[in-house]
Amino acid sequence: MKIFMIMINSTQFLYFTLSAYFDTGVLKYLFFMFILSLYMLIVCSNVLVIVVICMNRSLHEPMHLFLCSLFVNELFGSSGLFPFLLVQILSDIHTVSAPLCFLQNFFLYCYGGNCNLAVMSYDRFLAICYPLQYNTHMTFNKAVIFIAVIWFYSFVKFLITLSLNIRLTFCGNIINSLICSNYLVVKLACSDTQVNNIYGLFGTVLTILVPLLPILFSYMRILKICFCGSKQTRQRAVSTCTPHLASLLNFSFGCFFEIIQSRFDMTNVPRLLRIILSLYFLIIQPLLNPIMFGLQMSKIRNTCKRILCYKMFTCQMNFFNIENET
């Protein structure tokens, strides 16, 4: 709370106006229901896989722990977008207070599956290239350390961004976006933003390039093993790596759209398309990942089936018991 009071004192405005919203009349209730349905689907699918992994002891392996971290991260990022978006859709005045704006920045900029995918690709590299030594190289404790480093890395990056933004003085409060984008907030400052811009570019490198290096290294080694290995090895590698690669490409496209949207003039692009592109990586990634990984990995898929079948059987038994009693 102290940090947010400091932020308010360091700005000339107590709120920001989000100018990307437009009046949709009674259609706003339809948009509200659509966004709410998406949010519920994201929460239910991610929570289901997390619960399945946590409750099933046979899934307490490094690979599944990394998946659990990825899904928690997606819930974290979704919580920074959807509740805020739902309130703004129903609101007639699209403003957000300065503390809430920076709080949304915290959720959105700590969100990102790239680091999780980097660790997961390294885990798959060990499993495919060194199957006999895998349990030695990747233990449960090492997996927990990797996950802790991923989250700590994201928090530190944002704390530096936050400390740089606190000192800014803003001469405007109109953000041409649906959300509080850090870059667009910094553009409103009339004080010196050179350090913010330099760290912004450096932060982009930290977010994209640093995780990309272990991903490229891991998949190059996996491809080498595939070309030299047997047909069974190739099939195993393809089935294991397909969801990782699909998720990585999806996240990369989302980051690319976000960078283009915030750094370049997009006034010639239709407004609806701009809105879709600006929210792509915040909606599509947490929506598709639990489906891709859940359907691909047989242990998770079979456990989900058993849980759902058990619940259906329990409901039927309760129904029959009630019928017999009456």
4 within domain boundaries: no
Banded model confidence at residue 64, pLDDT cuts 50, 70, 90: confident
Instruction: Report whether pLDDT(280) > 60.
Output: yes
Indicate the length of the chain as a whole number: 326
**Which residue intervals of the chain are DSSP H helices?**
2-9, 27-55, 62-90, 98-110, 114-129, 134-137, 140-166, 182-187, 194-228, 231-263, 271-296, 298-325
CATH code, domain carrying 259: 1.20.1070.10
Banded model confidence at residue 316, pLDDT cuts 50, 70, 90: low
CA distance 60 to 299: 11
149 within domain boundaries: yes
CA distance 275 to 262: 12
Burial 247-260 (b: 16+ CB within 10 A, else e): bbebbbebbebbee
What integer pLDDT is reported at residue 40 of this predicted model? 92
For residues 113 and 70, is the Cβ–Cβ distance under 8 A? yes
172 within domain boundaries: yes
Rounded mean pLDDT, 254-261? 72
Domain count, the chain: 1
CA distance 219 to 213: 10
CA distance 261 to 242: 29
User: Nearest-CA neighbor of 297 among 64, 133, 47?
Assistant: 64
What would the two tokens of residue 293 be?
């990984």
CA distance 120 to 79: 24
Residue 111 or 123, more confident: 123
Rounded mean pLDDT, 266-274? 72
Q: Is 96 helix (H, G, I), strand (E, B) or coil?
A: strand
Cβ atoms within 10 Å, residue 183: 16
45 within domain boundaries: yes
Banded model confidence at residue 6, pLDDT cuts 50, 70, 90: very low
For residues 46 and 71, is the Cβ–Cβ distance under 8 A? yes
Give the residue numbers spanning the domain of 254.
Answer: 15-313
Instruction: Report whether pLDDT(263) > 70.
Output: no
Instruction: Convert the pLDDT of each residue in 175-195 to its tens digit.
Output: 888 888 777 888 888 878 888
What would the two tokens of residue 216 be?
């490229």
What does DSSP say about strands 174-175 and 15-18: parallel, antiparallel, or unpaired? parallel
Average pLDDT of every residue of the chain: 78
What integer pLDDT is reported at residue 296 of this predicted model? 62
Residue 144 or 315, more confident: 144
66 within domain boundaries: yes
> Which stretch of 18-32, 144-158, 227-241 has the lowest confidence by average pLDDT?
227-241
Rounded mean pLDDT, 210-232? 79
CA distance 179 to 46: 23
Instruction: Convert the pLDDT of each residue in 155-172 to its tens digit.
Output: 888 888 888 887 888 888
What would the two tokens of residue 288 be?
């598709």
Rounded mean pLDDT, 35-40? 91
The sheet that has 15-18: what strands, in order across it? 95-97, 15-18, 174-175
Residue 8 or 211, more confident: 211
Instruction: Report whether pLDDT(304) > 70.
Output: no
> Which stretch of 30-44, 197-211, 295-309 has the lowest confidence by average pLDDT?
295-309
What integer pLDDT is reported at residue 319 of this predicted model? 47
